[in-house]
Amino acid sequence: MSKVRVLVGTKKGAFILTADGTRKNWEVSGPHFAGWEMYHLKGSPVDPNRIFASQTSGWFGQLIQRSDDGGKTWEPPGGDKTPAPGEFPTGASNKFVYEGEVGTHKWYDGTQHPWEFKRIWHLEPSLTDPDTVYAGAEDAALFKTTDGGKSWKELPGLRGAKGHLWQPGAGGMGLHTIVLDPSDPKRIYIAISAAGAFRTDDGGITWRPINRGLKSPYELPDPDAEVGHCVHRIAMHRARPGVLYMQKHWDIMRSDNAGELWSEVSGNLPSDFGFPIDVHAHEPETIYVVPIKSDSEHFPPDGKLRVYRSRTGGNEWEPLTRGLPQQDCYVNVLRDAMAVDSMDPCGVYFGTTGGQVYASADNGDSWTAIVRDLPAVLSVEVQTLP
């Protein structure tokens, strides 16, 4: 019977939750890297034992950790030992090298600010090579490793897509979404707060904005602005890589032509503000979102935690509430904190800033808190194991 491994990044360490195919009894491993912010963990789709993790500290900076045994042991890919709390990391592993002239980007007041390297928000392993991984940084930049994480080089062409006009969202100017096209290895989508969505068709050499159809009247006076849109998340189903779904800063959006044009599919949602969006593993028209009341009140409308599901690719939405708190609930669900497994029926998972990780083993019809009282959850990813 297949197994499921849920990778959870939190503000104070990483946790690994494992269950058999019934997804009823869960074993909890962790905290790994206790006390460190673990922005994102993700497993290789090629090697089920390999996991990459983004480990960040305001004191000690940024490290990428790698496990080659499913999370039992970890080390920086360069071979250095993981520093203990209070110990400065030494050695030369995880060097992030900017290519070319880094330049400046635009701040809200119109002034120009130099690029800074602060943290890695998102890791996206290659669909075909276990040693190749993409990393999205703050300030917004895209890095790539081809040696399993020992060294990283920027794909500088991205900043050529009007990077001097990009500006940070409320949480920083992070490159938080990386989507690889399974039908075309040279096509990659990324999203940046608050610059928008971008696509490359040549493996990252050149990029262009794909924001036509997005409306941001409160942020951008120009309704046809190419950049400056606050995109929160993009999702794709592997069977239909030309169809994209987006959770934006207000609005759920859909594109049927690889991002060339977006249309709103918020439909009957109680609020179209939120952070995560994901697609059912076997039903390309079934998508999930978690509405939040507003951009100033980051909690569920009416204090009721509800996942909303559309089986029609948007516009018509139904609330999924069974097993979720329906009163006095004021948690948030962050952009990387929702994922699905590939089992049948499809499993859906999400984590909250209150430290709960909820799971559904029946397409979202019912939910169970598989772990509680963790630190605030920053990311949730899932591996389906043989």
In order, the DSSP letters of 3-16 are EEEEEEEETTEEEE
- pLDDT of amino acid 85: 43
In a domain, 23, yes or no: no
Task: Indicate the number of domains in the chain.
Answer: 1
Tokens 């991002």 correspond to: 259
In a domain, 77, yes or no: yes
Identify which of 309, 254, 300, 323 has the alpha carbon closest to the alpha carbon of residue 280.
Answer: 309
| Core vs surface per residue 274-293: b (16+ CB within 10 A) or e | bbbbbbbbeebebbbbbbbb
- pLDDT of amino acid 79: 64
In a domain, 29, yes or no: no
- pLDDT of amino acid 290: 98
Give per-residue pLDDT as tens, 234-263: 999 999 999 999 999 999 999 999 999 999
In a domain, 373, yes or no: no
Which of the residues in the chain have pLDDT under 50? 83-92
Give per-residue pLDDT as tens, 285-327: 999 999 999 999 999 999 999 999 999 999 999 999 999 999 9
Give per-residue pLDDT as tens, 41-75: 999 999 999 999 999 987 778 889 999 999 999 98
Q: Give the angle 275-276-279 at the CA atoms, nearest 5°.
A: 150
Model pTM greater than 0.85?
Answer: yes
In a domain, 32, yes or no: no
Identify which of 96, 86, 79 has the alpha carbon closest to the alpha carbon of residue 143.
Answer: 96
Q: Give the angle 30-94-70 at the CA atoms, nearest 5°.
A: 35
Enclosing domain of residue 51: 39-81+88-341
In a domain, 386, yes or no: no
CA-CA-CA-CA dihedral for 3, 379, 165, 217, to nearest 10: 100
- pLDDT of amino acid 227: 94
In a domain, 6, yes or no: no
The single-letter DSSP state of residue 110 is: S
- pLDDT of amino acid 80: 58
Arithmetic mean of pLDDT over the chain: 92
CATH number at residue 223: 2.130.10.10
- pLDDT of amino acid 130: 97
In a domain, 162, yes or no: yes
Query: 149 in helix, strand or coil?
Result: coil
